[in-house]
């Protein structure tokens, strides 16, 4: 069940959403217009669970293309909701735009609750009466800042919500996919290309997306949740608090995702900042691949589908070798174009495949056969005349995959040989871009009594 939260810019919608969900997920800033996309946050009250859709402020008199997109997103949120929560600024009083928004809500054919925000003390209660003129019923006096009246508001919302007959999803089956990257590399355009319609606002202004937005999608009869994130900028350029919090949102999105696609601008190639963002995802334990978006603008092809001008197979191979040398997880480098739709479905298929490989458990006999081949391929190192022995391997965890290798002496293992074993594991079992943990466990010498038993 969903509640669409709409209203004039800067009336405190995001602050109220944070208060009702007891979180800080929605970006709050004193500047109007910070929330631009729909953001969905779950909450519960009196045993009922539902989702609040935080929308951008609707300024109907503004013809700016971005403002028009925000209006369209608010209308789309209403179409997806069972109840509308219309937030007004009680201190500012009735505005002409409030009446226009009320007219739109009446056409939405869903129950409407008016929340008169910024009633921070009992002395402010008289300010609520102005909003009876909207003709939408009794306004509920609330204070997002103080928390006053929020219980009454939640009671009213839950009362209007229809009975929820949805079945919860099995978290082991759902794949969470985060799109992360520098600002303006086309993350939101990719989300829209995945979905086939404009779910996320796309603008050529860098940094349009401020929040991480979760959107479910079905791919090959499987549920995948897209997490579109705010662009990550180099720390030296994070001069505004909005950008600072945007970076935190992106990091948090990577931490709760199963797979991250690091979106890069194909015209720039894979930059050092792109590599740092990939490292961020990998340190979060997230399986990762890099995507060169805007491939149509390079004139290149770079894959078996055929040769192209501009950036071609040789340049793409060079980028892939650079990624393999720089990033320990050796993630795949894919090409796509959100504009033309090129390879869009392949990206989603690859994301599911990476997630499956990260969750897969390899049989122990197969692993030990592999271990024998590794030792034959390259003899383990020796120190002071004593050689390292790899005795036994088993998988002890998944997502990310974790392996335990019993050895005769930890002192004889070298970082170089440990990386060699890890890379062979990736090659054999398709674990490119998947965090792999290997525990080298020293087998203790058994006592004479144990050996004779």
On whether 271 is known to bind a ligand per the annotation, the reply is no
CA angle 41, 85, 115 (to 5 degrees): 115
Q: Is 107 annotated as a binding residue?
A: no
Determine if residue 184 is labeled as part of a ligand binding site: yes
Look up tokens 């004479």; give the residue: 448
**Is 293 annotated for ligand binding?**
yes
8 is in an annotated binding site: yes
Distance CA 2, CA 12 (A): 19
H or E element that contains 424:
helix 415-429
Alpha carbons 92 and 361: distance in angstroms, whole number: 60
Closest CA to 433 of 316, 328, 292: 328
The answer to whether 12 is a known ligand-binding residue is yes
111 carries a ligand binding annotation: no
Query: Which segments of 5-115 does DSSP mark as H helices, in order?
Result: 13-21, 65-79, 96-107
Annotated ligand binding at 369? The verdict is no
Residue 151: partners with Cβ closer than 8 Å, 6 or more residues away: none
* Residue 221 marked as a ligand binder: no
The answer to whether 58 is a known ligand-binding residue is yes
Q: CB neighbours (10 Å) of residue 183?
A: 17
433 is in an annotated binding site: no
80 and 4 Cβ atoms separated by less than 8 Å = yes
Residue 392 labeled ligand binder: no
Longest dimension (CA), the chain: 93
Whole-angstrom distance, CA of residue 139 vs CA of residue 115: 6
333 is in an annotated binding site: no
408 labelled ligand-binding: no
Of 407, 339, 35, 383, give the one whose Cα is nearest residue 201: 35
Determine whether the annotation assigns residue 56 to a binding site.
yes
- Closest listed residue to residue 137, CA positions, set 166, 118, 100, 111: 111
183 among annotated binding-site residues = yes
- The Cα 28–Cα 242 span in angstroms is 8
Angle between helices 65-79 and 96-107 (to 10 degrees): 40
**253: annotated binding-site residue?**
no
State yes or no: 181 annotated in a binding site.
Answer: yes
Check whether 409 is labelled as a binding-site residue: no
**Binding residue per annotation — 10?**
yes
Is 306 part of any known ligand binding site? no
Binding residue per annotation — 46?
A: no
117 is in an annotated binding site: yes
Is 231 labeled as ligand-binding? yes
34 belongs to an annotated ligand binding site: no
Is residue 45 a known part of a binding site? Answer: no
Whether 97 has a binding-site annotation, put simply, is no
Residue 227 β-bridge partners: 178, 214
63 known ligand binder: no
Give binding residues as ranges. 7-14, 54-58, 117-120, 181-188, 228-232, 293-296
Give binding residues for GTP as ranges. 7-14, 54-58, 117-120, 181-188, 228-232, 293-296
């Amino acid at each position: 069940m969903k509640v669409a939260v709409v209203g004039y810019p800067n009336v405190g919608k995001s602050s109220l959403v944070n208060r009702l969900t007891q979180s800080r997920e929605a970006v709050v800033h004193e500047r109007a217009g910070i929330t631009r996309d729909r953001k969905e946050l779950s909450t519960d009250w009196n045993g009922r669970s539902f989702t609040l859709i935080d929308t951008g402020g609707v300024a109907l008199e503004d013809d700016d293309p971005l403002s028009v997109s925000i209006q369209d997103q608010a209308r789309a949120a209403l179409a997806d909701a069972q109840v509308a929560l219309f937030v007004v600024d009680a201190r500012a009083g009735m505005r002409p735009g409030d009446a226009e928004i009320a007219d739109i809500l009446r056409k939405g054919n869903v129950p409407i609750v008016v929340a008169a925000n910024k009633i921070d003390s009992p002395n402010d209660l008289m300010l609520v009466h102005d909003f009876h003129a909207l003709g939408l019923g009794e306004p509920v006096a609330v204070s997002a800042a103080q928390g006053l009246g929020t219980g009454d508001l939640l009671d009213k919302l839950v009362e209007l919500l229809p009975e929820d007959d949805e079945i919860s999803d099995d978290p082991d089956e759902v794949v969470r996919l985060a799109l992360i990257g520098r600002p303006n590399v086309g993350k939101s355009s990719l989300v829209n290309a995945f979905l086939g319609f404009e779910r996320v606002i796309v603008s050529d202004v860098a940094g349009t997306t401020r929040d991480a937005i979760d959107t479910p999608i079905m791919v090959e009869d499987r549920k995948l949740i897209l997490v579109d994130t705010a662009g990550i900028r180099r720390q030296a350029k994070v001069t505004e608090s909005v950008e600072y919090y945007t970076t935190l949102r992106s990091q948090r999105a990577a931490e709760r995702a199963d797979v991250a696609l690091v979106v890069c601008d194909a015209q720039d190639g894979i930059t050092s900042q792109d590599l740092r963002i990939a490292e961020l995802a990998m340190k979060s334990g997230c399986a990762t691949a890099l995507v060169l978006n805007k491939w149509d603008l390079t004139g290149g092809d770079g894959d078996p589908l055929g040769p192209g001008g501009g950036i071609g197979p040789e340049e793409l191979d060079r980028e892939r070798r650079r990624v393999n040398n720089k990033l320990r997880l050796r993630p795949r480098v894919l090409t796509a174009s959100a504009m033309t739709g090129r390879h869009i479905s392949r990206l989603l298929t690859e994301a599911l495949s990476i997630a499956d490989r990260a969750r897969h458990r390899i049989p122990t006999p197969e692993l030990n056969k592999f271990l024998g081949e590794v030792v034959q391929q390259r003899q383990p190192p020796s120190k002071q005349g004593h050689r390292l022995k790899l005795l036994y391997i088993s998988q002890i965890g998944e997502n990310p995959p974790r392996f335990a290798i019993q050895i005769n002496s930890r002192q004889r293992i070298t970082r170089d040989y440990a990386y060699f074993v890890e890379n062979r594991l990736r090659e054999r079992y398709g674990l490119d871009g998947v965090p792999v943990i290997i525990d080298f466990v020293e087998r203790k010498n058994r006592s004479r009594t144990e050996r004779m038993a």
